[in-house]
Structure 1
Amino acid sequence: MPTTSPIDRGELLDVLVIGAGQAGLALGHHLARRGADFLLVDAGPEIGSSWRARWDSLRLFSPAQYDSLPGLPFPAPADTHPGKDDVADYLAAYAAHFALPVRLGTPVVRLHRDTDGTFEATTPTGTLRARQVVVATGPFQTPYIPAFADPLDPDVPQVHTARYRNPTQLPGGGRVLVVGGANSGLQIAAELAATRPVTVAVGTRPTELPQRIAGRDLFSWLDAVGFFTVPAHTRVGRRLRARGDLVIGTRTRDLRRRGVDLRPRLTGLADRTATFTDGTTVDVDAVVWATGYRPDHSWLHVPGAVVDGQLRHTAGSTDVPGLHVLGLPWQTCRGSALLGFVGADAEALAARLTPGAGTTDVPGRGPATPAVSPA
């Protein structure tokens, strides 16, 4: 006779974690150590699927010794830079090593809070109930493309970095316009420049730094001066946040030497012609949008949680009792959204979610086939 788990019978969880990426998994590790009754749900078909969907040549800026989640070192030599599939493999191995309860293929399409304070999460396979909820869906949610892309000639292919994989997606030989001068835009421009002419439209130019300085990886210098742990609420933290992200390893002066055409901010597209703030124009044969992401909280039906399109929180806790977030940029410090640094926020949040609970070492128990399950 078929059996159902307590979760499937609608019993109340201590904590429901929405998102089983790096933030959700790190939190799951700490919740398990504190004996919480919790579940991680993720819309993806496998753990790490969002990493596997990135472009083929993507490599981390951070060397392997800075890429570990709590309790399990990243399996790569120090000072090497893992690729995106290496990260996906590590996340899957992490969930299995600690036998974390993960339900895959389970997007939360609606979250609301009952009058008694209980949260109900509606998924395609049923409703989950929890006393507390952590939104760990990360900052990369809805790819953003400016409205002025609409007049572009329909015969000119365009792709957001969320869908870009490699140069074969774009017509060979024609000029490619890359819109955006942060890390992803410049990395992709450098890759494309090997096979075709490239123009990069750069708005606000971020600070550019080499990957290595004086024979050491940049991350070791930044870590030594406490860059990643600068609190967000301090004057230094506010200044760093206002200056935007660093561009690491790919420098515009090197791109110029390789023949890349650098222009100021893009202001419009008409047919095949791109126009920039300085009045210059260029005809293009394809466009790559490296224009970032926008949050999508349309599924969050919890009054008071979203203010001006953002989840308002203090160090991860919202104004709604029991509703928390994890893994956002500058949640508490510069490293809050980074693979090797999110663990500190996860540990602090786990302590708030389970007050008074002690911690117990939870060794890996091998593959967790029952725990990591489809919908």
Structure 2
Amino acid sequence: MTMMYDVLIIGAGQAGLSMGYFLKQSHLSFLIIDKEQEIGDVWRKRYDSLVLFTPKRYSSLPGLMMEGNVDELPKRDEVVEYLKKYATTYSLPIKHGTEVISVEKTKNIFHVVTNRGELLAKQIVVATGPFQTPKIPEISQNLDKSIKQLHSSQYKNSNQLQDGAVLVIGGGNSGTQIAVELSKTKEVYLSISQKLKFLPLTFASKSIFWWFDKLGILHANRDSFIAKKLQQQGDPVFGYELKESIQKGNVSLKPRTRNAEHSTIYFEDGDTIKVKNIIWATGFCLDYQWIKIKEAFDMQGNPKHKRGVTSVSGLYFLGLPWQHRRGSALLLGVGNDAKYLFQQIIENFEKSV
């Protein structure tokens, strides 16, 4: 017999767990499904030296603060343990090793086909987050097979790399952290497409995020003037480790990577280098081909939504970048969006009864 749920949550990362926290307080039946084998697996697969730039005070989900000094920056393994504790604390119903193959809607019911059978739901929350399909430029295919290439999501530590120089392509916080780490043992180049903007982790003995909180930046919704300016500028690099590494000559800055051929990398300024290793810190693409509901997406395949609510009754998205605020895709702000969607789900359910 195919199980029917009031709400099915796809994804058991921070977004799915936050949604589960609120649904646990309701009378609705729900299930969280995830293709990974264990809570925190996505985090566990990230690079070993990963440290969040948001302190524990601003890296906690609804109802449960991370253990330890709230002003400390959590390490990767602390996040993994925290998420596991969160799921246990609230006894969230999670089915692991369950990969969604397709989602369709007929009449008022969602049909979710997985590798472990079919599930039915009256409402669905897609909480798969923004880190889905690694984005690697086509020029990567022009390189010799002798060049070791990894996406930042595949990188764990320097032991994966060959002897010789490394080029990190991408100036986001992951790329810059990896570049700094590798510069301690290797010759490192960092290719960026725009000028780096550095912000301190602390100012006047307070976390920079404490100041963002007090100045209203953390709470600015995506359509506000300040939020639009932030989106145009892109993410800053938090902390000055990279800046110091560049000043010491441990990391060599390069402009945008224009092309690659055999073992040579070509940059926008006409310069070229040869390296043995490349880390593509070039982000991710959203991939929702498995959701067979065309009206939920625009021509580029992005969800059409307002604060995660789509025009398809009962279909919601959670954990998207700038879904409502700057931290919507992060531990920092996903709980706020989950609470809003919970209210929408309850209202929708009451209308249908």
TM-score by length of 1: 0.90
Q: What is the match of residue 334 of structure 2?
A: 342
The letter of the residue matching 1:273 is T
Relative to 1, partners in 2 of residues 1:288 and 1:250: Cα closer, same or farther, differing over 3 Å?
A: farther
Q: Which amino acid aligns with 2:238?
A: I
Contact 1:63 1:81 in 2 (8 A): yes
Asked whether the 8 Å contact 2:180–2:241 carries over to 1, the reply is: no
Once the two structures are TM-superposed, the CA of residue 108 in structure 1 deviates from its matched residue by 0.7
The residue correspondences of 1:8-47 to structure 2 (distance < 5 A) are 9-47=1-39
Percent identity between matched residues is 41
The residue type equivalent to 1:302 in the other structure is: I
Contact 1:186–1:250 under 8 Å retained in 2: no
CA contact (8 A) 1:35 1:357 kept: no
Shift of 1:85: 1.2
CA offset digits 1:59-102 (Å, max 9, x no partner): 11111111111111111212111111111111111111111111
Residue 65 in structure 1 maps to residue 57 in structure 2: yes
Residues 208, 251 of structure 1: 8 Å contact kept: no
Q: Say which SS state the counterpart of residue 68 (structure 2) adopts.
A: coil
Preserved contact between residue 34 and residue 357 of structure 1 (Cα < 8 Å)? no
The equivalent residue for 1:129 is: 120
Which residue, out of 318, 323, 346, partners 2:315?
323
User: Would you say the 8 A contact 1:207–1:246 is kept in 2?
Assistant: yes
Deviation of 1:221 after TM superposition, in Å, equals 1.2
Q: Secondary structure at the match of 1:340?
A: coil
What's the counterpart of residue 297 of structure 2? 306
Q: Please list every run of 5 or more consecutive structure 1 residues that lacks an aligned counterpart in the other structure.
A: 1-8, 359-375
Amino acid at match of 2:8: L
Q: Deviation string for 1:284-326 (max 9, x for gaps)?
A: 1110100000011111111211212201111111121111000
2:102 equivalent in structure 1: 110
Tell me the amino acid that sits aligned with residue 303 of structure 1.
K
Render the CA deviation track for 1:254-295: whole Å, top value 9, x for unaligned: 221232110100001111111100001111111010000001
Q: Superposition RMSD on alpha carbons, in Å?
A: 1.5
Matched, 1:95 2:87: yes
Q: Which runs of 5+ in 2 are unaligned?
A: none
Deviations along 1:128-178, one digit per CA (max 9) or x if unpaired, are 100111100000000011001111111010100010001111123x11011
Choose the corresponding residue for 2:229, options 229, 235, 239: 239
State the aligned residue count.
348
- Please, what TM-score do these two structures have when normalized by structure 2? 0.95
1:139 to 2:130 alignment: yes
Q: Could you say which structure has the greater relative contact order, defined with CA pairs below 8 angstroms and 6 or more residues apart? A: 1
Please list the CA deviations of residues 20-49 of structure 1 after superposition, one character each: whole Å capped at 9, or x if unmatched.
Answer: 110111111101112211110001000110
Give the alignment partner of residue 351 of structure 1, picking from 332, 339, 343.
Answer: 343
How far does residue 357 in structure 1 lie from its aligned partner after superposition? 8.7
Give 3-state SS (helix, strand or coil) of 1:300's partner: coil
* Compared CA separation, residues 356 and 152, structure 1 to 2 (3 A): closer
Residue 276 of structure 1 is matched in structure 2 by: 267
CA contact (8 A) 1:187 1:250 kept: no
Question: 2:344 & 2:196 partners in 1: Cα distance?
Answer: 36
AA at the equivalent of 2:122? R
Range 330-339 or range 290-299, more displaced: 330-339
Are the equivalent residues in 1 in contact too, given 2:32–2:93 (CA < 8 A)?
Answer: yes
Which of 214, 217, 221 is the equivalent residue of 1:227? 217
Judge conservation of contact 1:16–1:38 (CA < 8 Å) in 2.
yes
Corresponding residue number in structure 2 for 1:195 = 185
CA–CA separation in structure 2 for the residues paired with 1:340 and 1:34: 24
> 1:141 touches 1:294 (CA, 8 Å); kept in 2?
yes
Query: Matches of 2:137 and 2:292 in 1, distance apart?
Result: 27
Cα distance in structure 2, aligned partners of 1:150 and 1:182 = 23
Corresponding letter in the other structure for 2:123: Q
- How far apart are residue 206 of structure 1 and its match? 4.6
